Amino acid sequence: MEEENMEKAMNMKHKGKHDKPKPWDDDPNIDRWNIEKFDPSWNEGGMLEVSSFSTLFPQYREKYLQEAWPMVKAALKESGVTCELNLVEGSMTVSTTRKTRDPYIIVKARDLIRLLSRSVPAPQAIKILNDEMQCDIIKIGNLVRNKERFVKRRQHLVGPNSSTLKALEILTGCYILVQGNTVAAMGSFKGLKQVRKIVEDCIQNKMHPVYHIKILMIKKELEKDPALANENWDRFLPNFKKKNVKQKKVQSKEKKAYTPFPPPPQPSKIDKLLESGEYFLSDKKKESKKWQEKQEKQAEKTADNKRKREAAFIPPEEPAKQDPREPDDHKKYVASMAKSLKEKAKMYGKQKSIENINPEAYIAASGEKSSKKKSKHS
C-alpha cells in the first residue's frame, strides 16, 4: 500500500494543470501532421529586432549568382526579407525588415543562400521557402582520409550516368546534389533522414547505395498492403552481409634476439689502410700504385672493347645437317640403292648385247631352234 501511495504522489508531482484531456484530442477531423500555411494576421505587429544571416560562396559561383540574383531578390521580397550580394567579400546576406511577418522565414532564407553557395540552381533553391520543403547539407569530406577512396565512394553514390542518384531521388522524394565535399538534399523530413543514412553508409563503406535502393523498393511495396501497417517488416527486408576482401599480408621482418651489448664498430678507412699496410707507404709509392691500378683497369676496358668489336666479324656457326633417317632405315636405304643399281646394270648389259648382234648369226640361230622343235613333235 505504501508503495502505491508513493507512486501516486510521484505522478501528482509531474502532472500539471495543462495535462488534462482536451476536447480536440480525440477529434478525427484534425490532421496533426498537416503544416498550415502562415497567415500574416497571426503576427500583425511584425518583428521587434532585425535578424540577419550571411554565408560565403566560392569564386566559380560568382557569375551565376549575378545572373540569378534578381530572381532570388524577387522571391525573398514577397516574404518581406532583403538580400544583398557582396562580390568584393564573396558573401550573401539576408535580413528581416519591418514588413516581415513570418518569424521562421529568416531561417528559410538562410537555407536558401546556403543552397545557392553549394551549387544548387536558383529555381530549385527558391522552393525551400515553402513550408513543406526542408533541406540538409551533409558534409562528407571528413568521413574518409584517403582522397582516392573518397572520390571512388562518391562516384558510387552518383552511379553511371547519375542513374543511382536518380533512383534515390525517386524513392526518397528528395532533390539530391553531390558537389565537392558536401551533399545538398531538399525534401521532407522523412526523406532527408533516409538520404543522410544512405550517404553516410556509402562514404564510410558500410553499405553500397544499390542495396539501400533495393530495401526502399521493398518498403514501398509493403506500404501498399494495409494488413502489414502495424507489423514488423524486418522479415521481408534483405540482410546484406559485408564481405571483407582478403588483403595482402605485410611481410614482417624477423626480430633478432635481444642482446644487451651494442654491435661491434665497423672498421674505418684508416683501420683498413693499417691492415693492408698502405698506411706506412710513402706518397710516391701510393701514387704509383694508384697509377698502376688505373692502367690495369684501362687495359681490361680496352680488351673488352676489342672483343666486342671483333665479335661483329666472327661468322656464325652453320647448323650441321642431321640425317633424318634412323640407322635401320639407313641400312635399308643402302640395300635398296644397291639393288636398283644392279637392275640398271643388267638392263644396260642387255641393251648393249642387242645392239652388237650379227643379223646372219641371229637368223641361223633361229633356224636351228625351229628344227629342234619339229624333231621333238615327231
Q: Which residues contact 173 (CB under 8 A, 6 or more apart)?
A: 187, 188, 191
Sheet containing 134-139: which strands, arranged edge to edge? 134-139, 182-187, 175-179
d(C-alpha 291, C-alpha 211), whole Å: 78
Task: Determine the 3-state secondary structure of 334 from DSSP.
Answer: helix
State residue 281 phi and psi, 5-degree precision. Answer: -75, 155
Indicate the pTM of the whole model: 0.57
CB 109 within 8 A of CB 73: no
Give the alpha-carbon dihedral of 333, 338, 342, 347, to 10 degrees. 40
- State how beta strands 52-56 and 91-96 pair: antiparallel
DSSP line for 277-312: TGGGS-HHHHHHHHHHHHHHHHHHHHHHHHHHHHHT
Assigned C-alpha cell, 167: 533512383
Cα atoms in the Cβ-side hemisphere of radius 13 Å centred on 220: 12
Residues in the chain: 378
Nearest CA-CA partner of 237 in 224, 223, 219: 219
Taking residue 215's Cβ as centre, other Cβ atoms within 10 Å add up to 18
Indicate the residue type of 92.
Answer: M
- Going residue by residue through the chain (378 aa), what tens digit of pLDDT does each one get? 455 555 555 555 555 667 777 777 778 888 777 778 888 888 888 888 899 999 999 999 999 999 999 999 999 999 899 999 999 999 999 999 998 998 999 999 999 999 999 999 999 999 999 988 999 999 999 999 999 999 999 999 999 999 999 999 999 999 999 998 999 999 999 999 999 999 999 999 888 999 999 999 998 888 888 888 788 888 888 887 766 666 777 777 788 888 888 888 899 988 888 888 888 888 888 888 889 999 999 999 999 999 999 888 888 887 766 555 555 666 777 788 888 888 877 777 766 666 555 556 555 655 555 554 445 444
CB 175 within 8 A of CB 164: no
181 to 138, 154, 264, 324: CA distances (angstroms): 9, 9, 55, 76
Long-range contacts of 141-150 (CB under 8 A, 24+ apart): 141/180, 141/181, 141/182, 143/200, 143/203, 143/204, 144/203, 144/204, 149/205, 150/203
pLDDT at residue number 322: 56
CA 128-132-135 angle, to 5 degrees, is 45
